[in-house]
Amino acid sequence: MPEAPAAAPRLLPTVSIVEETMRQALRAVAVALACTALLTTTLLAERLWSSAQLEHAADRHAQANRLAGEIRLTEQELLQAAQSAALTGEASWIERYDRLTATLTQKVEHASLLVPMNVAQRYRDKTVDAANEIAQMRQSALNALQSGALDAARSLFDGERYTSRTRLIREATEELTAVSLAATESRVRELRTRSYAVAAAALTITLGGGFFLWRRLSSGLKHSRGSLLDAEVRVQRLAASDMLTGLDNRAALHDAMQSRLGRAERLNQELAVLMVDLDRFKPVNDRNGHMVGDLVLKEVARRLGRCLRQSDLRARYGGDEFVIVIDEADGMRTAPAAAQRIIETLSEPMFFGDLTVSIGASVGIARYPRDARSDDELIRKADSALYRAKKNGHGEVCLYDPKLDEALAERAALEAALREGIAGGQLIPFYQPIVSLSRRNVVSLELLCRWKHPERGLLTPDKFIALAEDSGLIGPLTLSLLNQACQDMLSFPPSWRLSFNVAPQQIQDENLVPQLLAVLKDNHVPPHRLDVELTETALVNDTARARAVILALKRAGMTVTLDDFGTGYSNLSYLSELTFDKIKIDRSFVQKLKTDQQSSTKIIEAIIGLSRSLGADNVAEGVETEEQADMLQKLGCRNGQGYLFGRPVRAEELQQRIALAADLVLPLDSQMMVDVLL
Ligand code: C2E
Ligand code: CA
Ligand code: CA
C-alpha cells in the first residue's frame, strides 16, 4: 500500500502574524497610557497634598515668627512696666505688669506648641525655677511697694538675682522661638525634599516602565519579524515546489541546477540529468479519472524519494515527466544504474483501495560535462534521449547520443517543410486502380499521397505519413488531397469511385465527417462515390468512437473498407460490433502465394469466407502477376489492386489513357480499359 501522502504544508498565517504584532503594539500603548494616567494622578495627588502641607507649614512658620516678635515686645514692655512700677510705685504699672506677665506666659505656651514636645518640655524644665523665683521676687516687690518701701522694691528689680533670672528666661524663650522657627523651616524643607523625592520616584518609575515596555515590545516585534521571515521562507518554498507532489517545480529545478553546475565546475565533478517519463500513465488517468492520476503522481514522487539520495535533485517537470539530477562524483553510482532502479521501483504495482494500477517508466540521460554544460541544454538532451527510449519501447533507459539530435533536428526541419508543403500544394494525389477480378474493369481508384519535395523529389508516404500523423498535420493533408481528388474525379468516368485513406488518429477528430462532406459538397461530388479505408489500428483502440464514425460515414452515403486486414490483431471481436462494406486482404498474404502457397491460400480463403459471412465485399492488394490474380479469383476474391493492373499514377496520366481508350472507342469499364491502363 502506498503511504498516505505527506500533509500539504499549511498555508502561512501571515495575517495572524501581523495581527499579533498589532495586538502587542496596542497592548504596549494601552499599558503606557494607563501607567502615564496613574503616574499623573499620583503626582497630582502628591502635589495637592504637599502644597497643603507646605501652606500649613508656612502658616506655622509665620505664626512662630509673629510669636517671636510679640514675645520680645511683651518682654520689653514687662521690663518697662516693672521698672516704672518700681520708680513710681503706682498700682496701674503693677496691674499692667501682671497683665503682661499673663500675656507673656500665654504666648510662650503658644510658642511651645509650635516646637516638638521634647523642646517644649526642656524649655519648661529650664525656666520653671527661674519663673517661680521671679514670681516670688515680684510678689515681694509688690508687697514692698504696697507698704511704700519703694527702694526695697526697686532694689529687688535692679538686683543681680532678678536680672539673671529674667535673662535666663529670655534666653530660653529666645531659644524656644528660634527652635520653633527652625522646626517650621525644617518641616518646609522636609516637604520640599519629599516633593522632589516623589517627582524623582515618578520619573524613575516612568523611565523603568518605559524601558520595560520597550523591551517587551521590541522582543515581541523581534518574534513577529522572525515569524514573518519564516513565513517568507515557507512561501518561497511553496512557490518553488509542485503543489501536487511537493517536489521542486521547473523554476526551482533550473535554479538548483545552475548552482549544482557551478559547484561541479569548481570541483571538477560529473553530473547526470535523468528525464523520467511514466509509461501507461495516460490510460490510467483516462480510465480512472484525475483523482487516481493525482494519487499515482504522488506515489511516484514518494517512490523516487525512496530510491534516491536526499541530496539528489527531484523535480516534476511536466504532467507525468520528472527530472532527477544526481552527482556521479563517488564513481559508485552511475546514472544508468540509478535509472534502472527508478524504472524497477516505478514498475511495481500501486494499490489504491481496491484499485491496482501498473505503470512503468522510461528514462533519458544526459551528462555534464560531456553532453552539455548548461541546465537548459542538459534537459533538452536528456529529453531527446528520453524520446529515443520511448521509441524503443516501455521501460527503456537511453543515454544521450549526438546522432539523436541530428535525427531530431532533421525531423523538425521535415515537419516544418511538410507544413509548408501542404499549404503550398506540394502534397499531390496519385491514383491506383482497383479492378473487378472477373470483369477486369475499374471499380475504384485508391488515392495514394505523394510529396513533390522541392529538393528531394517525389517522396512516397513512408517518408512523411507517420510524421504528419505525429505532428497533427494529417488533418490538413487529408482535406487538401480530397479537395484535389474531387476536382480530378470530374474527368474520371462516373462509375469509378475513390478509395480514400483515413489515418487512425483522425477517428478521434469530431470534425472529420463534416469536413469530408463539406469538401465533397463544394466540389459537387456525391458522397456515394467515396470509399473510406480504415486500418484495424483505428478500430481496436477506441471501438465505440470507430463505430460512431463508421455510422456517420455510412449515413452520409459513403462506404467503409477495412484496410490491411490480417496484419495487426488476432482478436477480431471488433468485427461483430462494426459493419464494413469491404475487406482488403493485405498484400503480404498475396505475395506469399508464390513462396508459401499452402498457408497463405488458407488465410486468404478464411478472410474471403469471413467477408462473405459479414456480408461484405473483398479486395486483394499487391496483385503483381496474372498467376496471383487467377489464384485469388479461384479462391473467391472479387476485386484486386496491384502493379498488374496499374501503379499509382498522376491524374493527368490516367486522363491521357482514358482519352486513348475513348479514341479506340473502347467501352470504358471493360477488360480493354485495364489493358489501356496497363
Ligand atoms: P496502403 O493503404 O496499404 O496502400 C497500398 C500501398 O501498396 C501503396 O503504397 C501502394 O503503392 C502499394 N502497392 C500497390 N500495389 C502494389 C503492388 O503490386 N506491389 C507492391 N509491392 N506494393 C503495391 P504507398 O503509396 O507507398 O502507400 C503506403 C501507405 O501509405 C498506404 O498503404 C497508406 O497506408 C499510406 N497512405 C498513402 N496515402 C495516404 C493518405 O493520403 N492518407 C493516409 N492516411 N495514408 C496514406
Ligand atoms: Ca489503403
Ligand atoms: Ca493496404
Give the domain CATH number at 258: 3.30.70.270
Quick one: which atom of ligand 1 is closest to the CA of 481? 41
Do residues 395 and 362 make contact, with C-beta atoms less than 8 angstroms apart? yes
Q: Is the pLDDT assigned to residue 678 strictly greater than 70?
A: no
538 and 659 together in one domain? yes
List Cβ neighbours of 165 (8 Å cut-off, separation of 6 or more). Answer: 130, 133, 134, 137
How would DSSP label each residue in 453-498? Answer: ETTTEEEPGGGTHHHHHHTT-HHHHHHHHHHHHHHHHTTS-TT-EE
Contact 564 CB / ligand 1 (< 6 Å): yes
Strand order in the sheet with 321-327: 313-316, 321-327, 271-279, 360-368, 397-399
Q: Which ligand is nearest to the CA of 448?
A: 1
Question: In terms of residue numbers, what domain contains 602?
Answer: 422-677
Pocket of ligand 1 contains residue 465 by CB under 6 Å: yes
CB of 534 within 6 A of ligand 1: the answer is no
Q: Which atom of ligand 1 is nearest to the CA of 644?
A: 18
537 and 645 belong to one structural domain: yes
Of 104-113, 123-132, 148-157, 564-573, give the lowest mean pLDDT range: 564-573
Residue 143's pLDDT is what? 82
Closest of 274, 315, 297, 316 to residue 359, by C-alpha: 297
- Same domain? For 294 and 428 the reply is no
- Closest of 480, 457, 477 to residue 468, by C-alpha: 477
Residue nearest to atom 37 of ligand 1 (CA): 448
**Do the domain assignments include residue 522?**
yes
Please indicate, yes or no, whether residues 141 and 192 belong to a single structural domain of this protein.
Answer: yes
- pLDDT confidence bin for 7, thresholds 50/70/90: very low
Return the CATH number at 518.
Answer: 3.20.20.450
Condensed to tens digits (0 to 9), the pLDDT of residues 14-24 reads 667 777 778 87
**Smallest-distance ligand from the CA of 458:** 1
CA-to-CA dists, residue 431 to 427, 483, 492, angstroms: 13, 14, 11
Question: Of 43-52, 151-160, 644-653, which range is least confident?
Answer: 151-160
111: CA distance to ligand 1 center in Å?
A: 143
Question: Do residues 337 and 438 share a domain?
Answer: no
pLDDT at 572 over 80: no
Task: Tell me the Ramachandran region of residue 598: left when phi exceeds 0, alpha when psi lies from -120 to 50, beta otherwise.
Answer: alpha
Q: Which atom of ligand 1 is nearest to the CA of 624?
A: 18
Q: Are 397 and 337 in contact (CB under 8 A)?
A: no
- Residues 6 or more apart whose Cβ sits within 8 Å of residue 513: 549, 552, 553, 556
Q: Considering only CA atoms, which residue is closest to atom 23 of ligand 1?
A: 622
Question: What is the CA(448)–ligand 1 centre distance, in A?
Answer: 6
Please indicate whether residue 171 or residue 323 has the higher confidence score (pLDDT).
323
Residue 486 has pLDDT above 70, yes or no: yes
Q: Which ligand is nearest to the CA of 532?
A: 2
Nearest ligand by distance to the CA of 585 = 3
Share of the chain above pLDDT 70, in %: 94
The reply to whether 367 falls in a domain is: yes
* Predicted local distance difference test score (pLDDT) of residue 663: 66
Percent of the chain with pLDDT over 90: 48
Ligand 1 mutation pick, 422, 621, 645, max ligand atoms within 8 A of CB? 621
- Residue type at position 83: Q
Q: Give the domain-ending residue among 165, 188, 223.
A: 223
Question: Residue 9 pLDDT > 70, yes or no?
Answer: no
How many whole angstroms from 88 Cα to the centroid of ligand 2? Answer: 174
Residue 624, ligand 1, Cβ within 6 A: yes
Distance of CA 535 to the CA centre of its chain: 47
148 C-alpha vs ligand 1 centroid, how far in Å?
181
How high is the pLDDT of residue 603?
92
The DSSP secondary structure of 148-173, one letter per residue, reads: T-HHHHHHHHHSHHHHHHHHHHHHHH
Task: Give the pLDDT score at 477.
Answer: 98
pLDDT (0 to 100) of residue 156: 79
Cα of 524 to ligand 2 centre, how many Å? 24
Q: Measure 330 CA to ligand 2 centroid, in angstroms.
A: 57
Residue 5: is its pLDDT beyond 50?
no
Q: Is the pLDDT of residue 618 over 60?
A: yes
Find the 622 Cα to ligand 3 centroid distance in Å. Answer: 8
Please check whether residues 453 and 547 belong to one and the same domain. Answer: yes
Q: Is 307 exposed, middle or buried (0-12, 13-18, 19+ CB in 10 A)?
A: middle
- Whole-Å CA distances, 224 to 23, 220, 227: 11, 6, 5
pLDDT at 286 over 60: yes
Closest approach atom of ligand 1 to CA 432 = 14
Ligand 1 proximity of 461 Cβ (cutoff 6 Å): yes
Half-sphere exposure of 458 (CA within 13 A, CB side): 9
- Ligand 1, atom 15: nearest CA belongs to which residue? 642
- Judgement on whether residues 156 and 265 belong to the same structural domain of the protein: no
User: Where is pLDDT greater, at 670 or 479?
Assistant: 479
Q: Count how many domains the chain has.
A: 3
DSSP string, 50-83: HHHHHHHHHHHHHHHHHHHHHHHHHHHHHHHHHH
Q: Which residue has the higher pLDDT, 190 or 86?
A: 190
**Residue 447 C-alpha to ligand 1 middle, in angstroms?**
9
Ligand 1 in contact with 648 (CB < 6 A)? yes
What CA–CA distance (Å, rounded) separates 177 from 251?
98
Q: Provide the pLDDT for residue 4.
A: 38
Please, which residues have CB within 8 angstroms of residue 120's CB and are 6 or more apart in sequence? Answer: 112, 113, 176
**Both 454 and 508 in a single domain?**
yes
User: Is 544 inside any structural domain?
Assistant: yes
Per-residue pLDDT tens digits for 82-121:
778 777 877 788 788 888 888 888 888 887 787 778 888 8
More confident residue, 56 or 480: 480
Residue 268: CB atoms within 10 Å: 8
Q: Given a cut of 80, is residue 37 above it in pLDDT?
A: yes
Q: Final residue of a domain: which of 223, 240, 270?
A: 223
Ligand 1 mutation pick, 448, 481, 534, 627, max ligand atoms within 8 A of CB: 448
Specify whether the CB–CB gap between 367 and 264 falls below 8 A: no
What is the predicted pLDDT for the residue at 456? 92
Q: Is 622 in the pocket of ligand 1 (CB under 6 A)?
A: yes
What is the 604 CA–ligand 3 centroid distance (Å)? Answer: 15
Mean pLDDT of the chain: 87
Confidence at residue 81, expressed as pLDDT on a 0 to 100 scale? 84
Domain match, 394 and 540 both: no
Amino acid at 133: E
CA of 527 to the centre of ligand 2 (A): 18
Q: Is residue 564 within 8 Å of residue 536, measured between CB atoms?
A: yes
- Is residue 271, in this structure, part of any structural domain at all? yes
pLDDT over 90 at 345, yes or no = yes
For ligand 3, the distance from its centroid to the CA atom of residue 152, given in whole angstroms, is: 178
343 in the same domain as 267: yes
Is there a domain that residue 5 lies in? no
Q: Which of 468, 458, 462 is nearest to 422 (CA)?
A: 468
Rounded to the nearest angstrom, the distance between the alpha carbon of 600 and the centre of ligand 2 is 20
Query: Is 6 part of a structural domain of the chain?
Result: no
Q: What pLDDT is recorded for position 247?
A: 94
Residue 531: exposed, middle, or buried by beta-carbon count in 10 A (0-12, 13-18, 19+)? buried
Ligand lying closest to the C-alpha of residue 468 = 1
pLDDT confidence of residue 619: 98
Where residue 238 falls among pLDDT bands split at 50, 70, 90? low
Which of 3-12, 49-58, 584-593 has the highest average model confidence (pLDDT)? 584-593
Cα(628)–Cα(618) distance, integer angstroms: 15
Shortest-distance atom of ligand 1 to CA 461: 30
Band of pLDDT at residue 259, cut at 50, 70 and 90: very high
Which ligand has an atom closest to residue 485 CA? 1
| CA–centroid distance, residue 209 to ligand 3 (Å) | 97
**In whole angstroms, what separates CA 640 from the centre of its chain?**
64
Position in ligand 1 atom list of the atom nearest CA 460:
26
Q: Three-state SS for 325?
A: strand
CB of residue 642 inside a 6 A radius of ligand 1? yes
Report the length, in residues, of the chain. 678
Structural domain ending residue among the three candidates 188, 223, 258: 223
**Do residues 208 and 315 share a domain?**
no
Predicted confidence band of residue 329 (pLDDT cuts 50, 70, 90):
low
Question: Does some domain include residue 410?
Answer: no
Nearest ligand, CA of residue 512?
A: 1
280 belongs to a structural domain: yes
**What integer pLDDT is reported at residue 13 of this predicted model?**
60
Flag whether pLDDT at 655 surpasses 80. Answer: yes
**Do 352 and 435 reside in the same domain of the chain?**
no
